């Protein structure tokens, strides 16, 4: 599926290989992962937000944006956190511009408004934040993502929204 | 993002992701994704453009409800911007 007339998957792969991580390859799959339907009406759903914006609290360790293999770790912070109290650490986009209005990468204000307007039931207590550059995906697939999945189950998330940058 | 989503899907969670690069999502094949043609770093819209940002959130919520089969749904949300996205996709600097 090439929508913009360029194969960005190929461009990005070659960019990462030549400048950062020579062994990089996309993990390709033949089949979709299981689709789990929403089990409650949206207006009653507990919605979780998972971001790869590199958002974190100032007193949390910043993501490692110098590592050629990327940083598979994640941070959590309360979903009631004011956006002004968060910082963005990411090497792959202009965090200075996004810091002027963090809703451009982390739409927490809009999700909180959706709760107030009864469009969704509530937000789960925590936001889970990754930094989107992870060239060595083994630690992500084997450790970080399964750990977050377990916490999302504990959070009783009815719907998980994943947002990139 | 797609890899993380696949693991959530395998754990039984109901998920919906946003993607700015449908080619990559098509390789990884998470259950449900919504494509939006916005630049990197302006995923939900321009700085200060709350209407577009909210429209993307609404499109995600709608997609989570209506997508009954796996795949990539194309969002109708977009805003007129310069050639930033086109340059990003080609790794070009101005």
B94 in any annotated domain: no
Chain B residues closer than 8 Å to A94 by CB: 41
Chain A residues closer than 8 Å to B26 by CB: 1
Q: B79 pLDDT exceeds 80?
A: no
Greater confidence (A12 vs B31) lies with B31
In this prediction, residue A3 carries a pLDDT of: 61
B83 in any annotated domain: yes
Greater confidence (B85 vs A103) lies with A103
Tokens of A56: 């974190």
H or E element at residue A98: helix A95-99
B51 in any annotated domain: yes
Tell me whether strands A87-88 and A55-56 are parallel, antiparallel or unpaired.
antiparallel
Average pLDDT for B68-76: 94
In this prediction, residue A6 carries a pLDDT of: 74
Tokens of A139: 């630690």
Chain B residues closer than 8 Å to A158 by CB: 14
- Contact (Cβ atoms closer than 8 angstroms) between residue A87 and residue A56: yes
Q: How confident is the model at residue A9 (pLDDT cuts 50, 70, 90)?
A: confident
Which tens digits make up the pLDDT trace of A73-82? 999 999 999 9
Q: Rounded CA gap, A97 and B60, in Å? A: 24
Residue A17, exposed/middle/buried by CB under 10 A (0-12, 13-18, 19+)?
Answer: middle
Which tens digits make up the pLDDT trace of B14-28? 999 999 999 999 999
Nearest to A98 by CA among A51, A33, A28, A34: A51
The verdict on a CB contact (< 8 Å) between B13 and A34 is no
Considering only CB atoms, B10 lies closest to which of A3, A34, A101, namely A34
Q: How many CA atoms lie within 13 A of A142 on its CB side?
A: 4
B41 in any annotated domain: yes
Q: A62 pLDDT exceeds 90?
A: yes
Q: How confident is the model at residue B76 (pLDDT cuts 50, 70, 90)?
A: confident
Average pLDDT for A66-73: 95
Å between B88 CA and nearest CA of chain A: 9
What separation in angstroms does the CA of A16 have from each of A135, B35, B64? 8, 23, 32
Question: How would you label B19-51 residue by residue, b for 16+ Cβ within 10 Å and e otherwise?
Answer: bbbbbbbbbbbbbbbbbbbbbbbbbbbbeebbe
B32 in any annotated domain: yes
Q: Rounded CA gap, B52 and B32, in Å? A: 21
Choosing among A2, A6, A8, A154, which should be mutated to test the B contact, i.e. which has the most B CBs within 10 A? A8
Give the dihedral of Cα atoms A131, A135, A136, A141; nearest 10 deg: 50
Mean pLDDT of chain B, nearest integer: 92
SS3 (DSSP) at A83: helix
Choosing among A15, A54, A163, which should be mutated to test the B contact, i.e. which has the most B CBs within 10 A? A163
In this prediction, residue B89 carries a pLDDT of: 81
B42 in any annotated domain: yes
In this prediction, residue B94 carries a pLDDT of: 58
Considering only CB atoms, A8 lies closest to which of B5, B64, B89, namely B89
Q: Rounded CA gap, B37 and B29, in Å? A: 18
In this prediction, residue B85 carries a pLDDT of: 84
Which tens digits make up the pLDDT trace of A98-152? 999 999 999 999 999 999 999 999 999 999 999 989 999 999 999 999 999 999 9
pTM of the model: 0.94
B24 in any annotated domain: yes
Q: How confident is the model at residue B73 (pLDDT cuts 50, 70, 90)?
A: very high
Give the dihedral of Cα atoms A137, A139, A143, A145; nearest 10 deg: -30
What residues have CB less than 8 Å from A95, skipping those under 6 apart? A54, A88, A89, B41
The verdict on a CB contact (< 8 Å) between A39 and B14 is yes
Q: B8 pLDDT exceeds 80?
A: yes
The verdict on a CB contact (< 8 Å) between B41 and A114 is no
Which tens digits make up the pLDDT trace of A11-58? 889 888 988 999 999 999 999 999 999 999 999 999 999 999 999 999
Average pLDDT for B2-20: 97
Total structural domains within chain B: 1
Chain B residues closer than 8 Å to A95 by CB: 41
Average pLDDT for B70-80: 88
Q: Rounded CA gap, A29 and A31, in Å? A: 6
Residue span of the structural domain in which B35 resides? 2-89
């Amino acid at each position: 599926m090439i929508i913009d007339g360029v194969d960005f998957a190929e461009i990005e792969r070659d960019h990462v290989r030549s400048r950062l991580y020579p062994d990089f390859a996309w993990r390709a799959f033949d089949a979709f992962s299981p689709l789990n339907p929403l089990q409650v009406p949206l207006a009653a759903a507990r919605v979780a937000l998972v971001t790869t914006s590199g958002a974190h609290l100032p007193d949390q360790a910043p993501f490692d944006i110098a590592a050629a293999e990327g940083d598979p770790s994640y941070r959590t912070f309360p979903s009631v956190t004011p956006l002004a109290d968060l910082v963005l650490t990411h090497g792959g986009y202009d965090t200075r511009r996004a810091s002027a209005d963090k809703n451009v990468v982390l739409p927490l204000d809009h999700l909180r408004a959706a709760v107030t307007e009864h469009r969704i039931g509530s937000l789960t207590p925590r936001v889970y934040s990754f930094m989107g550059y992870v060239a060595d995906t083994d630690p992500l697939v084997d450790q970080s993502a399964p750990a977050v999945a377990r916490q999302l189950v504990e959070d009783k998330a009815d719907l998980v929204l994943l947002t990139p940058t | 993002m797609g890899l993380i989503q696949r693991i959530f899907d395998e754990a039984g969670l109901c998920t919906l992701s946003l993607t700015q690069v449908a080619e990559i999502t098509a390789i990884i094949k998470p259950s449900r994704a919504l494509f939006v043609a916005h630049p990197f770093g302006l995923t939900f819209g321009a700085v200060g453009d709350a209407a577009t940002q909210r429209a993307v959130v609404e499109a995600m919520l709608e997609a989570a409800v209506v997508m009954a089969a796996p795949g990539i749904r194309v969002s109708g949300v977009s805003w007129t911007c310069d050639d930033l996205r086109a340059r990003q996709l080609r790794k070009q600097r101005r």
